[in-house]
Structure formats: C-alpha cells, structure tokens
Structure 1
C-alpha cells in the first residue's frame, strides 16, 4: 500500500529496486540517492565488474571485447539478482541483452530511467565510454535497445531531473501490493507530476492516497457495471452516456450536485468512464471551487491510450468540439485493462483509431507492432500512454510540439461537429481525419496501409456520399480551437511514422480535395 502523506516509505524486504536504462540516464546517481535516503549500500553492476576484473570498466571492455565483457556481466549480475532478496541495484546500459539477467529481474522491481537520445549523448560522450564515440552509432544503439528496456520495465520515469525519483518513490513502492503485472508510468508536466498505473484488476486497489472525501462521476452505462468495485465510500453522480451530453448543461448539473452534497476543496473527484466522462469530470474538477484533485479511471480504449492523460478537459458547443475547457492535470490515472473486455466491438474499434494515431506519431517499435496487426494489449496501451506523456512533458499547454497529438483531429473534429456528434464515434471521426491528413501529407502508400488497418477493425474509411456535406466539413475546420486570430488553422502533417510536423498550412483546394476523397472512396466497410 502507498504510504500516507508524511510517512517515510519502507523498502520491501523481498525484492530489489533495480535501475536500468541507456548510457547517461543517471542510473547510478538515482540508486545512490535512494541508498543514502534509506541508509543502505548501492550494488552498482559496473563497479562490481571493475572490482572483479581489477581494472577500470572501459579498459575491461577493451581487453575482453564486448562478447567477453557481456559474459562476465551476465555471470556476476545474474548471480547477484538471483540471490538477493532486496536492496538497490544499478545495471549497465547493455545488461539487458542477457536472457539470464532479464529472467532474474522478474523477481524485482525494474525502474527504467527514460532518457532521450540527445540528452544521453550530451551526458555520455567524451567520458571514456567505449560505445559513446560515434554519434550515429550511438543513436542506432539507442534505437535498438529501447524496446528491450521498455519490455523489462515495471516503472518508467523521465530521466530529466534527479529528484524525480523522490516524488515517484511512494508510487513505486505501491507496486509491491498491487496486482501482479501492474506497471507504473511517472507523468511530468510544468504544473505537476502524477502516477499512471496500468494493469489488471486495479479497480479498488489502494495505489496512491488522495485527499478528503471522494465523489464519483460516471455515466449510466459504466456506473452500473463498475462503480461498486471502487468501494462504498464514494458518493456517485451519474450523467447520461454519449458525446451529445458533453455539454455545459451536464457540467452544471454535476457542479450543482457537488455543491448540494457538500464537496469542499479538500476533497477529490474520481472520473470512471470513457473520454466523455473523463473530459467533463476533469472540467468540473478544474472549475469547481477553482479546482479540486481528480483521479482518472478510464474504461474505454480511446481513454486508456489517449484522453485520460495530459490534463486537457472540456465540453462541446454546438458550433465546435471542446470549445470550453481548462488544463487540469489529474492527481493519478488508474488503467484497468480488464474493463476493455466488456466494451462493445464498435467502441473498441473506435479506440483503435487513437492507437494508430499514436503509433504514427511515435514511429519505431510501436508503429511496427501496430502495422503488423497486433491487437491492443496492456503493453501497447502502456507504450501509447508513454508516447503521449513524453510529448506533454515538453509542451503542456499546446504551444508547439504537443500539437502533433492532434494528427487527424482537425478534420475529425470538423466531421463530428457537422454531424452533431451523432453519426460517428470520436475514434471513427479521427480515423477519417487520419486518412485526410495522410493525403495532405502526400503519403499515399501510408494512407492505404492505414486505411487497411482501420477497415480490418470495421472502422469507416469513407463518408457516406450525400450524408455529410463536404463543404460544411471544410468550413468547420476553420473554426477549430487551434486557430489564431488572422491566421489559417494549422494542420499536423506526417513525413513518415515518427516524423510529424505541427503548424503546417494547407491550401483550401487541397483540403477540400482530401475531404472530398473521403466521400468518393469505394469498397469501405462501415
């Protein structure tokens, strides 16, 4: 269980905290920081290898060669992790190449310090590291190792600040009592950090303490199924399900209910449901008594991979989507992937469009998994969330790079607005918007590939001819909330998976042609 506020955390006696990551991630520094805090020794793998070999680590690597070094590393580190019951360990950047070490880590809590490649190079180059001499080889090695780190990690923490580990520690230790297989992402932003737990059977699990009394906001479809599993202490407020109810009128009904029930600033909200519930409850939390904490408990694929993170909250106006809102980061996010088992197939498919969008933004291993046809699972959801949170950490308020997360959304939101949020689910509209964005990007082969992925899930890849006014959709894009006075609406275009460009200008004729193509395409599934 997470320690209560003011209590000092206690290290588990039956498992070690093991820091892993690429060169320059700060593994040794983080391990020493925690060891000093708890008054225990640090077990540094590189130091142990150097002591055993009787020479500095770079010389050892040079004399033994990489294969000889890895064999020695595997024997010493594998044996230590297999025998230890607790403590704090720091491993070398290449240790996870060993199957023996990866297997030994399953007994422990593996903490990945997630460093970007440019920062890693700045920290590692010129310090005698044998694998940090050529920048391109360094970058290639980083790309090859990244999936290995992610697969092994129970915890992922950005490595940009040394004190991140202090803030995240209570949540890391909470994994000790969490259901088996639970993983932790540490989300960072200018206005605050918070834990994201991803796993199974998490509803009702005691993962992170929240202040005061709890008030639950859910809808009339999710609430009857899952609200009871969160415990009897939450006062429940139920709203009608569906995007058509993500309005100021619904928000007002929740504000009034909270006031009548006596909620104060020392209490908190819990949002149980999909993107509509999360957006609306988040907006209510941002504005009720000028802000109260909120725990997001997303139950749909679209909310688990995208909307529950990053602090964007809001409601729709008849003229445009998400026109009234606020930035309000959650105090924690609890993702129980078991809730996806009860999703209607159409809702799961709609969430898949956001998976494709995120994979196109991320590129690399995530895109390779998606394009191969892998179905979304806990690991894919975890990686989608990590991708979004990495972007948000750089630009919380949508001033620049965060706009890449709007890939496909400009046309998608316009389609939702024109059809009054009644003809397409959000993910369905985003899927159509992705196809338009890829056409505008000149990525014809990629567009066809994405269309095939969407169609395989039963998602629409065309607008029913005559049912949606193409000119009305084009006009609605001009009212997108990203526009600035006197300037055209910026679009996100894609040069290749992993290479999205925000702030792009698109000609009127090109935009109309891309939207019109959606209404002309044949052979699509609905």
Structure 2
C-alpha cells in the first residue's frame, strides 16, 4: 500500500489548504475527504446533516475516507474532516500513512468557523466540548505536529514530512515555527553526520551518552557544570573552531543538557557572525524546555544569561533513552521544568503531571509542543514568551547569589516556583506543587545560610527588568498564567523568607 501524507485536525485547522499547498509543491493532486463526500452524496455536507443526521453522515464519511486512503498514491496529500478520526477503522487505516496534525486552538477554530455553514459550529459551548473531546484521537494518530504557522508553514515543513515517511517506526516530528526560522524537532532519531559538522559537548556527556555515536564527527569538549557557562569557555570554543578551519558552512552539533546547548548555541550564533547548530538534548530540562526557541548565552557574575543571542537551530533531536544515563539528582532537577510547563499548559498536561506519572516520552513531547506554541507566538520575549519565566525570576536570583554552585538550575527553579505560587496567592496549589517537587527529590526549602534579602535584591538584576521594576510571572490557575506583574518588595521578601523558614 502507498503511504499518503494525511492532514488531520479540528475544523478550521486549515487541512484542505495544507493539502492543496503540499500538492502544488509536489506537482500532484490533493485528495479532500469533505469534497469526496459531497460528490458521493450529490449535495453539501450541511444538507447531508440536515437530511440524514450525524450518525448516517459518519457512516458515509468512514466509507469514503477508507476508499480515499486506499486509492492515494505514495506521498499524495490527503485532507480529512475534523470528525473522521471518530471511526476506529479510519484510525487503524491511518497507521499505514504519515499523519500530520495541524494544531489549532479552540478560540482560533471558532473564529475561522464563523460565517460558514458548518453544522457543528453553531453553539460555542458544544463547539468547545467537541474540540476538547477530539484532541486525544488526533494526538494518538499523529506522526507529525504542526503548530499554527500561517500559510506556507506546511510547504516549509514538507521536506521533513517526506523524511518522516521513511524514518522508521516510533519516530515522530514536531515542526517549530518562528520569525527567526522554522525547523524540525525529531523524537526518536539521532542526527545524521554531515561533512562539515563539529560536535560540542561536555566531559560527562561524552563519557555517559555518546559512546560510539557520531564518532566520525570531530569533538570539542569542555568541563561540565553551570560554572563553566562563561565567556572564557565560549572563547576557547571559538578559537578551537578557528584552529580547525571551521567556516560558515560548518554546523555545530550540540550534545548535552542546558549548559551545553546554551554555550554551543551562543558559539554558533557568534562564530563568523553565525553558523548552523543542531541540538541533541540529553537532560530532562533540555528536552522539555531549553533546546527549543533559540535562546543562547552565557552567565556573568552579575546575572544569569546576561550575554547571548537568539539563534534558532536547524533541527533538534530528542532521544528518550539517553535520559537513563542521568544521575537521579539530574532527573529530579529536570522535573521542575516539567511542573512549570504543566502549570503553563493546564488541561491534560497538568492533569497528567499532577497524577504523579513518571516523565515519559508522552510527557516530554507534550512539554516540547507547549514550548513551541509559545515561541511561535512570541520568539523574542516581547510578551507571551515571558510566561516561560515562571519560577525563574527567584530561581535565577538564588543561582546568582550562590555563585551557580549550590543548586542545580532545576533545583533553583523548584524553589522559585514555590515563591511564585505564594506571590500568586494560591496556597492550595503551592502545597500541591510542593508535594510533587518533594516526591521527586527536589528542595522545597532554601538553605538557611542563604540571605533571603540578597536573593530578593538579586531579582532586580533579572535580565527582563525594565526601568526600576522587575516583572513577575504569576499564576491565576493551571493554564492561566500571566506575565508582567508587579510585586511589592515586602511581598517578595516574605515569599523568599518563607523558603528559608
């Protein structure tokens, strides 16, 4: 059977347009299930609903969709209706094809559905319930996830979608979209080496993770640890690249956690004014957060990530099995970013995390998709992306005051999350999150010898400070997180002091 490229998603996601755009680029004809149903019935879908009811329509839809999938040529784009995946037979048939989910928010879908004659878009409450009800089926079927990237995003993603068709069982892809560039995020596939690659990693990752992988790629290695995230390390790497004769065609392959990704990304962003970088994140922190979005940089004694640049990667490769090499303390540190992301996302991800399930591939994928959606809307921290700083303002201040030596980044973020929830006035949620963090082995109390007043003062050096005020990210409820909030100095000090109590 030929393997078609099938676009699925809720009504208003743009499936028909995506199939047409992809077909035009491929020089073939798109197949559209809704159009095929109308030809089969000799009337519009709205008229079908009115004459026969939804149950009869779904029977016809199932038959027509199965016929389309069976008739599709290799790689031919196919658009399915929003409810087609309600059929178990259709879901089973899709296993033989490459399925791309076009993500669309309920609000955007409702706006796009207005003005048309859609039978299931007449009542907003029913529409919202239907949107929520169908998400699991879409996500379970999807091999690829495309955030709302506007017209042209599907065409830009097309080479990756074609590559996905031959990538092997279990490999999935999320397409990252930003003004600085689009790129694939591969789940379950190592990068293929290219002739001009140079690998940057730290000594711990080189020993524990790489082994015989990418042995043909020259390696530049530095000592592990946040305290190495300095201009001196960056300079050593710049000069090593220069001594190897690296050019603007060279591609950096960054294999490691957040420190490696930040330094290697910054080196790539600045060497000869910018060369390509591919990230292979090997920690939970990096896999759920820091590998995406193009933030790179190094620390100064005055503050964390004070020198850096936005530099989007060419690709990210996420391998869940490498997390087995992490020491338990590192796994725990990464869990703080999982909880943070779940609080931002709310909904199914928050429910999944609060239930206490281990950080598995599904959780990592959901966290990554949350980050990608935020970055797609605001690449350069001008607004919405600041919600990703939840817990980081106090967390970074703790790291700065302790010289980046006392706490791992995730441990400091865990403390920062508790301070943010206290400032949000959500006592019950703070208690629940504290329980999750403690169960994972994360600190919920700050060392008594750390001066709370110094930590509170250090928040004024946060790189997001504007004028005299450092904006805070606060939580109104899981899934309802707001940025740019003013916090009175006594309240901040009290929240930090509580961490030492």
- TM-score category (smaller protein): over 0.9
1:59-113 alpha-carbon deviations (Å, 9 max, x no partner) = 1122222222223322332454367663322110111122222222111110111
Q: 1:265 aligns with which of 243, 248, 254?
A: 248
Q: 1:63 aligns with which of 35, 51, 54?
A: 51
The 2-side partners of 1:75 and 1:331 are apart by 41
Matching residue of 1:188: 177
Q: 1:72 aligns with which of 57, 60, 79?
A: 60
Matching residue of 1:18: 6
Matching residue of 2:121: 132
The 2-side partners of 1:264 and 1:42 are apart by 42
2:149–2:376: 8 Å Cα contact kept in structure 1? no
Q: 2:453 aligns with which of 456, 471, 475?
A: 471
Matching residue of 1:375: 358
Matching residue of 1:9: none
2:146–2:174: 8 Å Cα contact kept in structure 1? yes
2:174–2:184: 8 Å Cα contact kept in structure 1? yes
The 1-side partners of 2:191 and 2:211 are apart by 9
The 1-side partners of 2:77 and 2:466 are apart by 51
The 1-side partners of 2:287 and 2:255 are apart by 11
In the TM superposition, residue 228 of structure 1 has moved relative to its aligned partner by 4.9
Q: 1:89 aligns with which of 56, 70, 78?
A: 78
TM-score (norm 1): 0.91
Matching residue of 1:386: 369
1:157-179 alpha-carbon deviations (Å, 9 max, x no partner) = 13442211111111111112323
> 1:494 aligns to what SS in structure 2?
strand
Q: Does residue 302 of the first structure (1) align with residue 301 of the second (2)?
A: no
In the TM superposition, residue 403 of structure 1 has moved relative to its aligned partner by 0.3
- How many pairs does the alignment contain? 500
The 2-side partners of 1:421 and 1:399 are apart by 27
Alignment of 1:300-449 (within 5 A): 300-449=283-432
Matching residue of 1:29: 17
> 1:459 aligns to what SS in structure 2?
coil
TM-score (norm 2): 0.96
Which runs of 4 or more aligned residues in structure 1 lie more than 6 Å from their structure 2 counterparts after TM superposition? none
CA 1:363–1:225: 2 relative to 1, 3 Å: same
The 2-side partners of 1:160 and 1:308 are apart by 19
CA 1:26–1:339: 2 relative to 1, 3 Å: same
CA 1:338–1:82: 2 relative to 1, 3 Å: farther
Matching residue of 1:174: 163
In the TM superposition, residue 434 of structure 1 has moved relative to its aligned partner by 0.6
Please say which of residues 130-139 and 21-30 is displaced more in the overlay: 130-139
Unaligned runs of 5+ in 1: 1-12, 521-526
RMSD across aligned positions (CA) = 1.7
In the TM superposition, residue 516 of structure 1 has moved relative to its aligned partner by 1.1
